[in-house]
Homo-oligomer: A and B are copies of this chain.
Amino acid sequence: MIRLRLSIGLDYQVYDPGCDFIFNIHAAQTDRQRVLEETLTLNQNVPTQVETDAVTLNRYLRLSAAPGPLSLRYSAVVELAHHVATPTQIGEVPVPQLPAQVLSYIYPSRYCQSDRLLKLAMREFGQQWQGYARVQGIRDWVQQRVAFTQNTSNTNTSAIDTLIDSVGVCRDFAHLMIALCRAVNVPARFTTGIDYGADPALGPTDFHAYVEAYLGGRWYLFDPSGTAIPMGFVRFGTGRDAADVSFATIFGTVGSASPRITIEAIPGADGQLVTPRHSSDALSTDG
């Protein structure tokens, strides 16, 4: 089992009185992602509220801040007990057997216009074996066609833009992979965490966006940008696409600094240090 210690520091300058924030920076709690300890500290003395969405398990921190500086620090120790499976044994779930609550993840969303990619996806992936390998094929296809470049996309950039422009950041890779999965009826969702294991040359440790695809009755992890190590992903939020799971949704005018994020592997209960590593196994931390 992998044990990770992480911290997130966020700093804002609030200009409007009663500026509302919705944060999604708490580690999700699942059977396979246990939050052993966590602390939230805040420089302002305002009431906070943490709600857990019953369907996604996303945990939302809501608060109204006063004008002036707002600083949050969230830190946690999380233990991951991955479900590990052999890719060749994981098939897709035929549409009639998809659970109702999974169905919406084959429908198009703001940034993942899968409805427009049906023919393209059928041409590229229609003949492949319908299982984990096909989704891996989609991940690789995206990775080969998109160049990872900072500051090439914005909040309006969608999967279709990324396919055309052939450039983007982790969020854009995720959107394109999700759109292509849905176009071949594989449920796929947008997931946020920390870019564990990312090359320091890409910049300081940051939030990360990756993909979970529903295969063999379970949500498996994929990292289409190829910039991090999936085994070290701690899930914060999951949703249809980036529209649903911003780490901070802000209603009002604020200035903001870059987030300060750390994540490290630490020894488990048995004193053993297990470090996340690239693996050819299929991994899931959901259910």
The answer to whether A166 touches B123, judged by C-beta atoms less than 8 angstroms apart, is yes
The interface residues of chain B lying within 8 Å CB-to-CB of A96 are 20, 62, 64
Query: A42 at interface (Cβ–Cβ under 8 A)?
Result: no
The complex is assembled from copies of this chain, and their number is: 4
The answer to whether A119 touches B101, judged by C-beta atoms less than 8 angstroms apart, is no
Query: Which chain B residue lies CB-closest to A166?
Result: B119
Query: Which chain B residue lies CB-closest to A52?
Result: B100
Interface digits, A112-140 against B, CB 8 Å rule (1 contact, 0 not)?
A: 01011101100100000000000000000
Do A164 and B164 contact each other (CB < 8 Å), given the known contacts A100-B60, A251-B185? yes
Interface digits, A9-20 against B, CB 8 Å rule (1 contact, 0 not)?
A: 000000000001
- Determine, out of A73-81, A155-163, A210-218, the stretch whose residues face the partner at the interface: A155-163
The A132-182 residues at the B interface (CB cut-off 8 A) are 145, 147, 155-156, 160, 163-167
The answer to whether B101 touches A20, judged by C-beta atoms less than 8 angstroms apart, is no
The answer to whether B51 touches A164, judged by C-beta atoms less than 8 angstroms apart, is no
Interface digits, A230-241 against B, CB 8 Å rule (1 contact, 0 not)?
A: 000000000110
Total number of A residues with any Cβ neighbor in B under 8 Å: 43
The interface residues of chain B lying within 8 Å CB-to-CB of A113 are 110, 156
Query: A1 at interface (Cβ–Cβ under 8 A)?
Result: no
- A residues adjacent to B (C-beta < 8 A): 20, 22, 51, 53-55, 60, 62, 64, 94-96, 100-101, 103-104, 107-110, 113, 115-117, 119-120, 123, 145, 147, 155-156, 160, 163-167, 185, 239-240, 243-244, 251
What 10 A-B pairs have minimum CB-CB distances, sorted nearest first?
Answer: A119-B166, A108-B110, A107-B243, A51-B100, A120-B166, A20-B95, A108-B243, A95-B251, A20-B96, A109-B110
